[in-house]
């Protein structure tokens, strides 16, 4: 509750309780409280779990930095709108103005979640991390959360990605993970099947 669901945990739960229906829900406090849900089918340990589609009277927009919608599969920031959206933050007008913006697609306002997502082919949203963990290495803008999510899909129980300087002083992408019986080379090979080379730590 209140955190990203680990696919391996869901898989274990489904194996132990096959009749159990697992529903993954997403929602910031500012949108009281759920914005999306998704009934999970059988889960594999390396699956990216969708957070779903908007609930009735809720709307979700995946936008780039110019507040334009991005195509299916492209990472963008999630903005939510609709019934349940808060009016703002009590006695914090600057933060309210930053996070609650006019809806460029219609009436009302949007809440800028700070969460990175993408639409999957079946129309469900997939959560990838926070946008405040963006790195820039060799001219590439890198979303650490997207790589951390990929590490977890590849078998890491816990994952962290950061930028560090190598012995020559160049900034490089470094990944840390915790997993039982998962060799570094195996993990890198799995990552290279789903990520471009410049995103593999």
Q: Give 30-63 pLDDT, tens digit per residue.
A: 998 899 999 999 988 777 789 999 999 999 999 9
pLDDT higher for 65 or 130? 65
Per-residue confidence at 133, pLDDT binned at 50, 70, 90?
low
2-8 — which CB contacts under 8 Å span 24+ positions?
Answer: 4/127, 4/149, 5/49, 6/152, 6/157, 7/43, 7/44, 7/45, 7/46, 7/47, 7/48, 7/49, 7/152, 7/153, 8/45, 8/155, 8/157
Q: pTM for the complete prediction?
A: 0.68
Sign (positive/negative) of CA torsion 152, 156, 157, 163?
negative
Structural domains of the chain ordered from first start: 7-129 (2.30.38.10), 132-199 (3.30.300.30)
Tokens matching residue 45? 């340990």
Mean pLDDT of 87-102: 93
Mean pLDDT of 26-30: 91
Mean pLDDT of 100-104: 96
């Amino acid at each position: 509750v209140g955190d990203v669901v680990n696919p391996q945990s869901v898989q274990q739960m489904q194996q132990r309780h096959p009749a159990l229906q697992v529903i993954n829900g997403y929602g910031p406090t500012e949108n009281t409280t759920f914005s999306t849900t998704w009934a999970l089918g059988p889960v594999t340990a390396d699956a990216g779990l969708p957070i779903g589609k908007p609930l009735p009277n809720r709307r979700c927009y995946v936008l780039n930095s110019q507040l334009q919608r991005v195509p299916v599969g492209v990472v963008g920031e999630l903005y939510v709108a609709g019934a349940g959206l808060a009016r703002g933050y009590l006695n914090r007008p600057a933060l309210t103005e930053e996070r609650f913006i006019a809806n460029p697609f219609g009436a009302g306002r949007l809440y800028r979640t700070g969460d990175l997502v993408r639409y999957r082919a079946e129309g469900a949203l997939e959560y990838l991390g926070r946008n405040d963990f963006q790195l820039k290495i060799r001219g590439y803008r890198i979303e650490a959360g997207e790589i951390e999510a990929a590490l977890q899909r590849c078998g890491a129980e816990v994952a962290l990605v950061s930028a560090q300087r190598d012995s020559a002083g160049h900034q490089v992408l470094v990944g840390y993970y915790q997993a039982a019986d998962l060799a570094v080379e195996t993990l890198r090979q799995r990552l290279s099947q789903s990520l471009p080379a410049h995103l593999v730590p």
